Amino acid sequence: MHPVLFEIFGYQVRTYSVAMALGFVVGLILIRRRAPLERVDVDVALNAAVSTIFGTIIGGRALFVITTWGDNFAGKPWYEALKIWQGGLVFYGGFFGSIISVVAYLKYRRQAFGPVMDLISPYVGLGLAIHRSLGCFMNGCCFGAPTDLPWGVHFPPDAPATRLYGVGQAVHPTEIYLALNGLFIFLILRWYRNRKVRQGEVFALLLALYAVGRFIVEFYRGDPVRGFVAQNQLFGLAVFVVGLVLFLFFTWKRLRAGQVAALMFVVAAAVMGFMGIYSDTSDVEQITPFSTSQFLGFYVFATGLAMFLRARYFGDPRPPDYGRPPLDAAPATANQLG
């Protein structure tokens, strides 16, 4: 554990922040190299990727405030929610926020969503691998539950995991599990991108794969702020899935009005789902065994699966010269496979 990387002029440069920045920089470099092969404008791709920085911070902080309101913010001045330098970002919130920021930018530039997101998606997994392994692990956050497995890790006495479980207690290195999940996503999407049939498939797989991996790792998490979900909120999840099925059905039938109605159904159910995540259990009698992240993962997996099916059967086909260097490119471009 090494939360502070170094100090400069009395200012602490934290490992968590450096790891997050490193993941973004590596992603930007690879996106720039790969964009010509996927027939995506380099400037559009890079600007879209940069926009995710703002979406990640705003969305991650917003979901943290929502899910920990009762524990951290109730009864306090509103501006306490803005103090992100004190810590508190939730990945799924940042993930949703980054997607919204890219959609807004691409709408502004009148660019198609699928090609750009397919280009960016593999490097999201790589960024997660860098951030979780260097940032979270060195920071001591996102730690696991106690374990006697040989790869259990012991944190220093002042670490959150040690304060919670005691000196000498090994815990699951869930930060490393999450990093391996990110690396797995990167490798799978990098392999699949040259095999996709239509635009949008790679991004849809990103959603589904991350949700499954995160759902599994959550069973081994040990940090106390896990959140919970009331049983009656499972109804909203069922409504959400039904709405996605109806959307696919009306897409197949080419009924525009039906698609709009189904999407309204989906949005209403998603709002219900977000209203069902809590951190304060004092006034809830029946709760599910799922954490907040697992509950959101159900929504993300269902969305990813629906988007993959829609892209695969109804999306725009990939360009015929996809994955090959442009005719006017330098010979070295052929090796820019990112």
DSSP per-residue codes, 113-156? HHHHHHHHHHHHHHHHHHIIIIIIHHHT-S-B-B--STT-B---
H or E segment and range at residue 281: none
CA dist., res. 286 & res. 284, Å (int): 6
Question: CA–CA distance from 7 to each of 12, 13, 19, 84, 117 (Å)?
Answer: 4, 6, 16, 20, 37
pLDDT at 81: 74
Residues recorded for the chain = 338
Query: At 153, phi and psi to the nearest 5?
Result: -115, 150
Question: CA–CA distance from 290 to each of 63, 218, 220 (Å)?
Answer: 17, 9, 12
State both tokens at 323: 């994955």
Closest CA to 228 of 271, 274, 290: 290
Cβ-in-10-Å burial (0-12, 13-18, 19+) of 196 comes to: buried
Question: CA–CA distance from 179 to each of 123, 216, 222, 287 (Å)?
Answer: 13, 13, 17, 29
DSSP class of residue 8 equals E
pLDDT at 213: 95
| Per-residue pLDDT in tens (0 to 9) along the chain, 338 residues | 788 887 887 787 888 888 888 999 999 999 999 999 999 999 999 999 999 888 888 888 887 777 677 667 777 777 777 766 666 677 778 888 999 999 999 999 999 999 999 999 999 999 999 999 988 898 888 899 999 999 999 999 988 899 999 988 999 999 999 999 999 999 999 999 999 999 999 999 999 999 999 999 999 998 876 667 777 788 888 999 999 999 999 999 999 999 999 999 899 998 887 776 665 555 556 777 888 888 889 999 999 999 999 999 999 999 888 888 876 655 544 445 56
pLDDT at 253: 93
Cβ-in-10-Å burial (0-12, 13-18, 19+) of 207 comes to: buried
Question: CA–CA distance from 140 to each of 78, 79, 156, 160, 162 (Å)?
Answer: 28, 27, 9, 7, 10
pLDDT at 204: 97
Query: At 29, phi and psi to the nearest 5?
Result: -60, -45
pTM over 0.85: yes
Question: Is residue 27 a contact partner of residue 127, using CB atoms and an 8 Å limit?
Answer: yes
Question: CA–CA distance from 28 to each of 89, 290, 304 (Å)?
Answer: 22, 35, 24
State both tokens at 319: 């360009």
